[in-house]
Structure formats: structure tokens, C-alpha cells
Structure 1
Amino acid sequence: MSAAETTVPAGTPPVPGAGSSPRLNQPWRALVALAEVVVAVLLVLAAVWAWRSAAVVVEFPAWREGDPVQRVTRYYGHWMASAVGLAALAGFALLDALRQLVLAVRAGGRGRRRR
């Protein structure tokens, strides 16, 4: 058995750069990036809706004639937390969309030499 014909035990992870690794430059990643941008837009819309649901104005009638109507703004923390969480998820989706787009266009492309 020569050095090139060595056997690898089953279940051993592949060695990076061993020639059997998949190429990163795959055009379908652009479609994944587009889908993630659409998801991010939907998450931002949901975050805006949740933020607007967080504040509720309650009006109390005047006690005496001539007194102004009392208005109180009540803030719901769970809606605010949901809005912040949805906005954070939208940010992560945009970051991953950018990563997918870069991998679809640039990685493994022109000018790379193999050793």
C-alpha cells in the first residue's frame, strides 16, 4: 500500500482543502440572499407593528364639568421586547443575505491558484 492509498476510518470528518470540499461560489446563493432580504423586510414590518402595539392611550372622563379629559399612555413591555427581537432578527437576516451574496459572486472565482 503506497502513501497515496491510505484508508480513512468511517465517520472521520473531511480535511479542509483536501480536494473533496464543495466550492463556495454557487450562483443559487443569490436566490437565498434575495429570500433573506424579503424575510428581513417582513420582519421589519412586524417589528413596526409590534412597536405601535406597545403604546396604548387610555382616556379617562373629566371628574367635574370644565375639567380636561385625562389621557394616560400605557406601555406594554412584551410588545416592545417583541419589536426589538424582530428587528434584531431582521438585522441577522440582512447580514446573512450579504454573506450569501458575496459567496454567490466572489468566493472561489477568478485569480485563485491551487497549490
Structure 2
Amino acid sequence: MTEAVTEPESDTVVEEPEQAPPAGPSLHQPRRWLIAAGEAVAIVVLVIVAVWCWNRGIVRLEYPIEGRETLVSARYHGNWLGTAVGAATLALLLALDAVRQIMLAVRARPQKAADSDM
């Protein structure tokens, strides 16, 4: 039988990683109200852009015919409709984040109250 070869143990010292300084209250910050307000403005602008693009994406065409009703049809432009859907989707995502920002701002505690809990 063959013998297993083992390497000699080395005298290397494994250093412990340094402890990271404790992070401050990063989630609960009242300045999140400003972020939510900015997102609300962006939501309004995106909804206006989405409605404008949607209206440009659908073109009504009328063909008059003698002795009959006017033939009305619609032509759809995919680039405008796609832009409208994209703008509405982005507005929805910003609305969700604005709600999140508001909830974190409301739950923020003043520094005195946070220190007294320790």
C-alpha cells in the first residue's frame, strides 16, 4: 500500500478582518420626502407624455362615399403606442417607489427618540 503524503503544517497566522464601523440610520431619513416629491413631479410629466403619445399613435381616417355613411377607420402607429406604454410603465414604477419613500420618511424617528431606546 502507498502512504498518503501530507504537507507539514505551516505557522502562518490568519488575521481577523477589521470590524466595520456601525452604520448610521440609513433607511429612515426624513429627506426622503424630497425624493418622493421629485418622483411625484416625474410621474405627472410621464403621464402627460403617455397620453400625448397615445393620441399621436392612433390616427382616425374618414373616407366619404356617395350615398352612404362615411367610412371611418383607424391607423395605429406602433412607435407612438410603444412609447406611451413605456412612459406609463415607468410612471407606475416611480409611483411604487414614491410610496416606499413616503413610508420610510413617515417611519423616521427623531434622533432623541432613537437614542433613548438604547
Amino acid in the other structure paired with 2:23? S
1:11 matched residue in structure 2: none
Structure 2 match to 1:103: 104
* Number of aligned residue pairs: 100
> Aligned partners of 2:88 and 2:50: how far apart in 1?
6
Equivalent runs, 1:74-89 vs 2, <5 Å? 74-89=75-90
RMSD: 2.6
Q: What code does the residue aligned with 2:89 have?
A: A
Alignment of 1:1-115 (within 5 A): 8=18, 19-62=22-65, 65-107=66-108
TM-score (norm 1): 0.69
The answer as to whether partners of 1:24 and 1:108 remain within 8 angstroms in 2 is no
Structure 2 alignment gaps of length 5 or more: 1-15
**Structure 1: distance between partners of 2:27 and 2:49:** 33
5+ unaligned residues in a row in structure 1: which ranges? 1-5, 9-13
What one-letter code is carried by the residue in structure 1 that aligns with 2:44? V
Q: Which stretches of structure 1, 4 residues or more, deviate above 6 A after TM superposition?
A: 108-111
Report which of the two structures shows the higher radius of gyration computed on alpha carbons: 2
Give TM-score scaled by structure 2 length. Answer: 0.68
Distance in 1 of aligned mates of 2:68 and 2:102: 61
Deviations 1:12-42 (A, max 9, x none): xx86xx5135431111110110110111111
